[in-house]
Amino acid sequence: MLQSFEIDQFRTFEHLRIDRLARVNLIVGRNNVGKTMLLEALRLYVDGASFASIGRLLLTRNEVAAIALASRRSAEAQLRLEALFHGRPTQLRTNDAICLRDPTTPAAALHIDQVRGGTLRVRRGAQDAELDVSDVSQWLMAPGEASWSPEAPAFLPASRMAASHMGWLWDRVALTSREANVVNALRVIAPVEGIALVAAPASYSEGARIVMARIAHGMEPVSLASLGDGMLRVFELALATEFAASADKPMSTMLRVGSGLFTLALDEPVLLIDEVEIGVHYSALLDVWRYLFRAARERGIQVFATTHSWDCIEAFQQAAAEEPEGSALLMRLEQKGTAHRAVLFDQDELPTVTKHHIEVR
């Protein structure tokens, strides 16, 4: 498990040090202070800046130039690699290198710099590899290959999960013991008895599927989307949690990065959630946090989530009060000029924060 985290020269962060972390970490702060970018840095650190992770980060923010009009699969498109580096330098110098590390395990520090054009050099300890990311067509692979590779950390964006990603994740849990965990999570919102992904009507795109639910005392299955955004969000949360928990091997095993094999940084899986409260009514947030704390504790997952919601912070505090000491940490990111810092509130400080309505967002 990550004990602390430090970032140098990555995106908006010239430098950021987080001195301690917990099993479940909630990140708050003003807009554009870097909450999502902290999750991105964690993604890169965990999977060793793999080919797919670099593409995901840049394409998600449309950091691509010169896309040929004839075909989105054209290799004429270029990833804007400079967007990964602090200040977006057009000409990278030798000291323009990203460094991501847990100061308690310096041997696992990850260094990324640009060698030339579309090629990055990635280093972790004595391991060194060059990563050619110039062919944008490779970022348009099937979601199971590019966006949700088995080695990647589980990441749930603030936007709606693509149907293809949702289907790929469901196929990993359907008809296994983990399917019941997903259904139980949905009962936070409604008395769901079962879930299935079925072929969409002919009017939908070929191969598309929709999520159907069987509700207690209901005569017919209904579309999960018809039950509201909260149901879809909890379904996504449960799928991402099961994806994180079902790693076939510890995250200290080897991952191919470019032409080399890198040792992954952690011995436990990580779950990253951007704007955890999206679509969920405030009255259900406490049960959502109880679910996440229980999954983290029982399944050995470290959770990092962001929020803008005071209701979400209050629910986080209430759920944390039911957990063992040291299970939760509230982190407020602050920025003054180009400098960032993380103000940390330990689990025993959370009741004071919420009781006195101390502004931490």
Least confident interval from 114-123, 171-180, 201-210, 246-255: 246-255
Query: Residue 353: what pLDDT?
Result: 85
**Higher pLDDT pick, 89 / 66:** 89
| 218 token code pair | 């209901």
Domain 5-160+255-355 has CATH 3.40.50.300: yes
Place of tokens 């990603």: 165
Residue 272: name the closest of 110, 149, 153 by CA.
Answer: 153
Task: Answer yes or no: is pLDDT of 177 > 90.
Answer: no
| Cα distance between the two ends of the chain | 26
Question: pLDDT tens digits, residue range 35-62?
Answer: 999 999 999 898 877 777 787 788 788 8
Proportion of the chain above pLDDT 70, given as a percent: 80
Question: pLDDT tens digits, residue range 300-338?
Answer: 999 999 999 999 999 999 999 999 999 999 999 999 988
pLDDT confidence tier of residue 94, bands split at 50, 70 and 90 = low
Task: From residue 221, give the alpha-carbon distance in Å to each of 168, 176, 238, 239.
Answer: 21, 21, 20, 20
Written as one letter, the residue type at 225 is A
Query: Residue 166: what pLDDT?
Result: 85
Distance CA 9, CA 273 (A): 23
**Residues paired with 223 in a beta bridge:** 212
The b/e string for 195-216 (b: 16+ C-beta within 10 A; e otherwise) is bebeeeeeeeeeeebbbbbbbe
**Phi/psi at 67 (nearest 5 deg)?**
-75, 125
Query: Residue 335: what pLDDT?
Result: 92
The b/e string for 241-255 (b: 16+ C-beta within 10 A; e otherwise) is bbbbbbbeeebeeeb
User: Beta strand pairing status for 127-132 and 154-156?
Assistant: unpaired
In angstroms, how far is CA 351 from the centroid of its own chain? 27
Distance CA 268, CA 254 (A): 14
Query: Residue 264: what pLDDT?
Result: 55
Domain residue spans in the chain? 5-160+255-355
| 140 token code pair | 């348009």
Distance CA 331, CA 360 (A): 9
